Every structure is written in C-alpha cells, then in structure tokens.
Amino acid sequence: MPLRETEAVVLRTYRLGEADKIASLFTRQLGRLRAVARGALRPKSRYGGTLEPLSYVRLWIFERENRDLLHLNSVEIIESFFDMQRDYRVQLAAQYLAEVGERLLPEREINERVFRLLLAVLRALKHSNEVNCPLLYFDYWMVRLSGFLPDFEACAGCGKALGEDGGYYTGGSEGLFCHDCRPSGATRVAAATLSMVQTACRQPLDKWLQEKPPVGTREARLFLEELIESHTEKKLISKKMMEEEV
C-alpha cells in the first residue's frame, strides 16, 4: 500500500458517517480524486483546518489497488484561501471554481496547466476586490484547456465571418451563430466583447488585474458559462447563485 505525496487544492468536503469526511481534491500529481479523511469531524482532528474549501495543501495519500476511494494520511497547508471567503461574493466565486473543476476535470488525469490556472485565479480573488475578471479568465481557460472553445470569428452554422454584428448563442449552443443562422431566443455577444476576451485572457492574470475590468466582462462570462453548462449538460448551481449576487 504505497504512500504518495502530492500537492492539491481542496474542492469541497462532505460528511461520511459520524466522524469522517470525504474530500474532493484536485491534486497536482494524481489528478482529481476523492479521498476519505478518517476522524476529520472529531473536535481534535489531526486535519485541523487544512481541509477548508479551496485550501492549497500538501498531502500524503494511501493508494490501494482496485479501490475507488483513497485514504488521506496527513495534510499540511501551503496557502489558505479561507479568510477571503468572508466576502460573500468571493465565497460564491470560490464555490463556482470548485463546481466547474469537479464537472470538467476528468478523474485521475494530471493537468498541470489547469492546476496553475486554479492557483492563479484563487490568488487573484484573494488580492483584488474584483470577482468578474478572475472568473472570466478562469472560464476562458477552462473552456480552452478542456478543448471546447468555439471559433470566435466564424458562424458555427454556415461558416461565415461573424464580423461587426458579433455572435449569437442560446442554451445548449456549443458555438456562435451569425444573425441569419441564430436560433430563436438567442442572446447576442458583441463583436467588441469577443475580441476583448481574446486579448485580455491571453495576458497574465496579475497584469490584467492592475487595470479596470474591461467593458463586456460580464457578457463574456455569461456566454462562456453557458458553454460549460451545454458541454456538461447540467446547470451549475453556483452560477445561478452568483447571478443573484455577483
């Protein structure tokens, strides 16, 4: 029964029986997985506050062959993102990152770029009061790194250049449509927003955060989040909560 060391971000935890917790983790060296933390609900648990949602931790885990659930041996904190979540908007944003991570990241698949993205976005949320820019950056890169970023310049129906009119999408769309091909009830994304996303998201996040949020940030987020929902064929709970608050 080998003991493996890895870094991880805690996506969320939930109760298992009277005293244990299951931690849903995105680990750097083993990919996304779930592991049992024995006794984590006891008052003097050896895990202390290390399993708070979105904590960046180092952990040691027992790998057993042919078992779905792994067991945590010990956890130590590298960087906490707990205090920032006292701001309710940031807390919802953090829940959103965790939910999208659980939905989009395949189990046991290592993804160093997404791991670094998640840390960069968490740090941006911690050090700026702005929620929209970090979330747009996260959405863009999660969609792109997951391989379903659509063409921002051509219609998914007829292939014509979208041009100055921008693009149209609706629930279930996996691409953008021109004015002629747009489905009924479609929402428009302005051409300026589409070009802003491509420029803004291709620079480092910390550089971008020194500037004011660009016009269209929210419009772009709604489009990318619709793509995530279409792709996973499921509504995001935290997205709905954010729409009311953020």
Q: 100: which residues sit within 8 A by CB, 6+ positions away?
A: 138, 139, 142, 228, 236
- The vertex-73 CA angle with 72 and 76, nearest 5°, equals 90
What H or E segment, with its residue span, contains residue 16? strand 3-16
- If the CB atoms of residues 69 and 158 are measured against Zn ion, the closer one turns out to be 158
In the complex, the smallest distance separating the C-beta of residue 42 from Zn ion, rounded to whole angstroms, is 60
What H or E segment, with its residue span, contains residue 205? helix 205-208
The two tokens of residue 211 are 């500037």
The two tokens of residue 113 are 């770029």
Contact between 120 and Zn ion by CB under 5 A: the answer reads no
x-marked contacts with Zn ion along 189-218 as a string, rule CB under 5 A = ------------------------------
Helical residues (DSSP H) of 42-177, grouped into ranges: 88-104, 112-127, 132-145
Size of the site for Zn ion (CB under 5 A): 6
In the complex, the smallest distance separating the C-beta of residue 155 from Zn ion, rounded to whole angstroms, is 3
- If the CB atoms of residues 53 and 167 are measured against Zn ion, the closer one turns out to be 167
Candidates 77, 84, 154, 181; binder of Zn ion (CB under 5 A) is 181
By CB under 5 A, the residues from 146 to 175 that bind Zn ion are: 155, 157-158, 160
In the complex, the smallest distance separating the C-beta of residue 153 from Zn ion, rounded to whole angstroms, is 12
Interaxial angle between packed helices 132-145 and 191-200, expressed in degrees from 0 to 180 and rounded to the nearest 10 = 80
Q: Taking contact as CB under 5 A, which single stretch among the options 117-125, 132-140, 146-154, 179-187 is the one that binds Zn ion?
A: 179-187
- The binding site for Zn ion (CB under 5 A) comprises 155, 157-158, 160, 178, 181
